[in-house]
Amino acid sequence: AKKFGAANARGEERRWIYAKNWMEWPEEIMVTDSRDPSEGVLLGGKYVRAGCKQTFNQSACWIRKNNGVDPELYLLLKPQVARTGPDYGIISTSTNHDDVSSVLAFLPRDWQPCDALIREKQDIQKVVISNWAPLPGMTCQASKSNFVVEAPTEDVSPVLIRMTGLSESDMNDLCLRDDPDGIKTEVHLSVHRGAKAQQTVKRYNLLCAAPFLKFAAANGLKYDLTPVASWNLAKPKEIPFGCCRKTVPERPTETWYFNEERGTWERNSEPGASRRYFIALQEAPQCFDFVVNRSENSLTVNCHPEVAAHHAAFSLIEGRGKGLERDVSVHFRLLAYQEDP
């Protein structure tokens, strides 16, 4: 008891004590929002629990439908991946709990969905409302350089943004982890996983981030980066979304057999299958492809939304029968925030 005394004093006993009805979650949650419409998007209404319970953290998702006036909203549980605290509820215009620009409200950390079934706990205090407000003005300063940044406004190419004017030392530094000998004319940078990726991303941030952000702020890109950007419909090229085995490699299969000698069931897998799967994952295309061209002294960032569409669709249709890919439609938008690889 002494060990948890300080946490108890802060009212954090729910970190380790389950509510009596913790296994009972409501199918519908009614939210009342007494704010004035001028204060932002009103959150009130009926939130109905989603039938699909395998694509959200803790299978927690309640949806307030779009009624033609108010937007569709989602009540989710945002996970604390580092486990430094409990998962907490949010209300968002996006089904992605990591989409920070879409979160409209943060519920108290001790709130749980089962509280909606207890009258004494239905009045929630300390809800944090987030509203985006226009900035009157902002000045950004960047050191002068020979870099020239350009970006297509409307085209079907994968090019998102491009920088020319890189010096030989700049290119060598960017390619040090992927082409240390300087043999390749065109180098695809590894920026998605591993220790090499972290070093490359650090150099990219130092060299390219400021010019790219400056250009995007002044001229925009072919995708809207604002927090209220609309969703774009992704259209499959040849293979239906969720069915591309190059983008989403097939996992190694395992079979179970009964070992008569030991009297137990054991797993059996094809030799080398895990290694082939690992190599296929490394060779799979990524949403963003960073390409250094030594002959043109340039760095080009290509964007492939169909890669994200394949992953999203695959999570929905995997193991649920054939033909579902025909009923899947995918919308996407680009967010202006960055996480470490």
Rounded to the nearest 5°, which phi and psi values hold at 209? -60, -50
Give the β-pairing of 288-293 and 264-269. Answer: unpaired
Distance CA 27, CA 277 (A): 40
User: Whose structure tokens read 């952000």?
Assistant: 213
Q: Would you state the pLDDT for residue 54?
A: 72
Rounded to the nearest 5°, which phi and psi values hold at 284? -65, 145
Distance CA 123, CA 134 (A): 32
Q: Would you state the pLDDT for residue 16?
A: 59
Cβ neighbours for 95, distance < 8 A, ≥ 6 positions apart: 56, 61, 74, 76
pTM, whole model, 2 decimals? 0.65
| Residue 244 burial (CB count, 10 A) | 22
Distance CA 6, CA 29 (A): 33
Q: Would you state the pLDDT for residue 341?
A: 39
What's the token pair of residue 258?
């009964």
Q: Would you state the pLDDT for residue 340?
A: 45
Q: Would you state the pLDDT for residue 19?
A: 77
Say whether 150 sits in a helix, a strand or coil: strand
Q: Would you state the pLDDT for residue 242?
A: 92
Q: Mean pLDDT for each 10-residue chunk of the chain (341 residues)?
A: 64 66 90 86 92 83 88 92 84 88 89 90 89 79 83 87 94 91 92 82 89 88 83 89 93 87 87 90 92 95 94 89 88 71 39
CA dihedral 30, 31, 36, 37 (to 10 degrees): -80
Measured between alpha carbons, how far is residue 309 from residues 276, 305, 312, 333 in Å? Answer: 24, 6, 5, 11
